[in-house]
Amino acid sequence: MADWLAALDRRADLRAKAGLTRRLHARAADETVTDLAGNDYLGLATHPEVTAAAARALSAYGLGATGSRLVRGSTDAHHALEDALADWIGTDRALVFSSGYLANLGALRALVQPRTLLVSDAHNHASLIDGCRISGAETVVTPHADVTAVADALAAAPGRPAVVVTESIFSVDGDLAPLARLHAVARRHGALLLVDDAHALGVTGPGGAGAVAAAGLAGEPDVVVTATLSKALGGAGGLVAGPAEFVRHLVETGRTFIFDTALPPAVAAGVHTAVGLARAGDHLRAELAERAARAVARLAAAGLTVSAPDAGVISVTAPGPEAATAWAADCRDRGVAVGCFRPPSTPDTRSRLRLTVNAGVPRADFERALEVIVEVAP
């Protein structure tokens, strides 16, 4: 009866030998570590207006939504947040899910019809990859940010419904997809474009409306936008935004929406307040961009291989998975939290530290963190 547990132990040993062990680390509320690992780009997770709005809703509605959105889980807080998100992003409607992961699974499944072809970027997030798989549709994976390859894949399937699937700001290296060119190719072939704007919403675009808006594609009838509410907005949950007809289709058929307990109302209320702060947060976006440029300059000057970020994600190459793990651990021992990405979490064979810039971190702490990363580099 215990054979299956022994098999799991053997697989864990193999991961350990490859430097791929993962462990959970508890974070205390009063932790003093400088955060360059989380995704709170604008520092809104602890903003007093955000937490106050969440506290008021917590008192009014209780801890959880108590049901799925179609049963008892839809509250005034959810609807107000969806209206605010649609207005900000520039779409007909927006629908809030309990996570960005479920939003991507639901959106992709809802876009698939018989014979649909999905054309997915090789560097897409796991939620998009899993969404393509779960949809059951034929999926062609194209080289990263290769518009010609996308055009060739669509041309090879004439007359078939198709969806081009991409992130805007990619989650590992922080580079920006060629959204306008991808949309032009998709439209030429009668395909839809799905863009996961998770790492751009709040960080780029007019009023922080994201990379889709920055590319001039907001509200286009053949574009669907997904995102998480857990990054620049500092909360939790996910969203799908697009034409009203598509959102209606999700409400009526989307399994990851219909059969999932709704986002807690307190989180919805806090995120709604964060949306207003993000829209007015040009000064925060300017600070974030300045810090990202500063980080790249300092790390490159130390001889490290660093990505050129288009938003708040910075990738720093490590010699290998074990070196990346040790580097991240040494940083943490010195009071700096950084991300550590290794295969198979990376879209290639390269291990790296991933730094995410947080405009809410005190400037002196941010500068010190850069020095620590350089000092303990392998």
Sketch the domain layout of the chain as residue ranges. 48-279, 282-375
pLDDT of residue 18: 81
Residues in the chain: 378
Share of the chain above pLDDT 70, in %: 100
pLDDT above 90 (res 172) = no
pLDDT above 80 (res 347) = no
Buried/exposed 113-136: b ≥16 CB within 10 Å, e otherwise: eeebbbbbbebbbebbbebbebbe
Query: What is the tens place of the pLDDT at every residue in 55-79?
Result: 999 999 999 999 999 999 999 999 9
Read off the pLDDT of each residue in 81-85 and give the average, rounded to a whole number.
98
pLDDT above 90 (res 17) = no
pLDDT above 70 (res 1) = no
**Mean pLDDT comparison of 26-35, 187-196, 317-326, highest-scoring range:** 187-196
Predicted confidence band of residue 343 (pLDDT cuts 50, 70, 90): confident
CB proximity list for 42: less than 8 A, separation 6 or greater:
202, 203, 232, 234, 277, 278, 281, 284, 285, 288, 358, 359, 360
Neighbours of 297 (CB within 10 A): 12
Predicted confidence band of residue 350 (pLDDT cuts 50, 70, 90): confident
Specify the pTM. 0.95
The CATH number of the domain covering residues in 282-375: 3.90.1150.10
**170: closest CA among 196, 133, 132?**
196
Predicted confidence band of residue 97 (pLDDT cuts 50, 70, 90): very high
pLDDT above 90 (res 349) = no
| Sign of the four-CA dihedral 365, 366, 368, 372 | positive
pLDDT of residue 24: 86
- DSSP H/E element including 322: helix 321-333
pLDDT of residue 26: 87
Query: What is the tens place of the pLDDT at every residue in 98-150?
Result: 999 999 999 999 999 999 999 999 999 999 999 999 999 999 999 999 999 99
pLDDT of residue 174: 94
CA distances (Å), 189 to each of 119, 172, 216, in order?
12, 29, 19
CB proximity list for 48: less than 8 A, separation 6 or greater:
none
Q: 48-279 has which fold?
A: Aspartate Aminotransferase; domain 2 (3.40.640)
pLDDT above 90 (res 20) = no
Token pair for 60: 């009014």
Query: What is the tens place of the pLDDT at every residue in 263-278?
Result: 999 999 999 999 999 9
Average pLDDT value over all residues in the chain: 96
